[in-house]
Amino acid sequence: MQPIAQKLLEQLLRLQSKVEEKLRPYWEKYSPQIQQLNYDQIKAFVLKYKWRIVGVLFVLYAGSKIINYFFPGADKVGGPVTVTTVVVQPKEVPLVIEATGTIVSNNIVDIRPMITNTVAKILVKDGQEVKAGDLLFQLDDRNDKANYDKLKALADDAQSQYLRAKELVAKNFISKAGLETSNANAKSAFAAAKAAEVQLSFDYIRSPIDGRAGIVNVFPGSLVQAGNVVSTATNSTATSSVGSMVTITQLNPINVQFIITEKDIPTVLENQLDGDALTVKVTVGDASKRIYEGKVLVVDNQVDPSIGAVRVKAQIPNDEMTLLPGQFARVFLEASTLKGALQVPSQAIILSPNGKTVYIVDQNDKAVAKPVKVLYEYQGQAVVDGIAAGDRVVVEGKQNLRPGSKIRESKLAIQPVNPS
């Protein structure tokens, strides 16, 4: 309000100067004649130009009222101005960085076959919770099982022959070379049996992690192939598609990935070096319903130069399974704590051409303007430099104040904030 009033006063003063400059020649020219005017002449002049005279008087009156309203003299200042104040006390203020991110799984596995075979049994359902080691699919194992049984029998026989050869060597019935040959045959047969056992295990597909199964993409009788191609869809003529048999996703705990700007990186890294994991609060969807708290896992080791930001990953509990990968999230990262900070409501700060100021109330209940520097501002609160602890800062009613104005505290005064 003050800058506007100052400009208005300057315009009025310039207008006054111009009017005086324009009227001065006429006054010098007609002042001798005006002094010779008598009452009748003056009366006739007033009656002739009465509306113009009224207009000029109105403009002068309104101008004087405007000047007196915005710039009253010291002896004309009105009564006390009703304001609300807050007493500033030093406190610890968390330095919060807001960001947007995405919910990502802590672990996710696409289940694909290691061999080409036919699906015999499906032991997992869509959306089922599974544990590591649970059997998900069984392929046709008849050929692999028969092969394993054959090689296992050969290995057992080779082992028996080796033990028999040891007895014969002790009785000098065979040479030591024959014993070594028997031992080699036993080891070879055992290795072949182990290979067959591994091949047989590929027919039993198990979950490698704890998590939740997605949509099952195969059916009993579907032909699956080793690699990235899996038969998943059925139509009237064929069964073929591309994709995983099923995807297992770990949902608890779950991660959130977001980015922070380059200017905030030093603050985050400095506090991460202290040893304590930084705290994050995450909201998804309707922020008023649920806030999830977690800890920062890692700050990426390089900055993306295209956006001037670095990726950060944090982990949050998901016991109720209400979060799913891919959801949009708002993240509030507590990067640091400002100790002994002086915090005032943001509405107490006045913007002016000379910078930012606040009004404080001195011991005589008079308003004093103090220039301040805003160090940090968040959610309607600002940490400032330029005032002292215990100062009474005007929050409401400041628009009616001028330096030196008397103030009166409102009954709805804002209570002082205790240090946390």
Write down which residue in 338, 373, 397 finishes a domain: 338
Q: According to DSSP H, which parts of 228-351 are helical?
A: 265-272
Give the residue ranges of the chain where pLDDT is below 50. Answer: 1, 74-77, 230-241, 413, 415-420
Q: How many domains does the chain have?
A: 4
Contact 137, 124 (CB under 8 A): yes
Helix (H) and strand (E) counts for the chain? 6, 21
d(CA 381, CA 88): 12
301 and 317 part of one domain: yes
259 and 326 part of one domain: yes
pLDDT of residue 416: 47
Examine residue 343 and state whether it is found in any structural domain, yes or no. Answer: yes
H or E stretch at 60: helix 50-70
Examine residue 107 and state whether it is found in any structural domain, yes or no. Answer: no
Contact 408, 402 (CB under 8 A): no
326 and 360 part of one domain: no
Examine residue 47 and state whether it is found in any structural domain, yes or no. Answer: yes
Write down which residue in 187, 202, 217 finishes a domain: 202
What is the domain extent for residue 66? 2-71
Examine residue 217 and state whether it is found in any structural domain, yes or no. Answer: no
Examine residue 420 and state whether it is found in any structural domain, yes or no. Answer: no
332 and 255 part of one domain: yes
Write down which residue in 338, 371, 400 finishes a domain: 338
380 and 392 part of one domain: yes
Condensed to tens digits (0 to 9), the pLDDT of residues 86-121 reads 889 888 888 888 899 999 998 889 899 999 899 999
pTM of the model: 0.62
- Please give the mean pLDDT across all residues of the chain: 81
151 and 166 part of one domain: yes
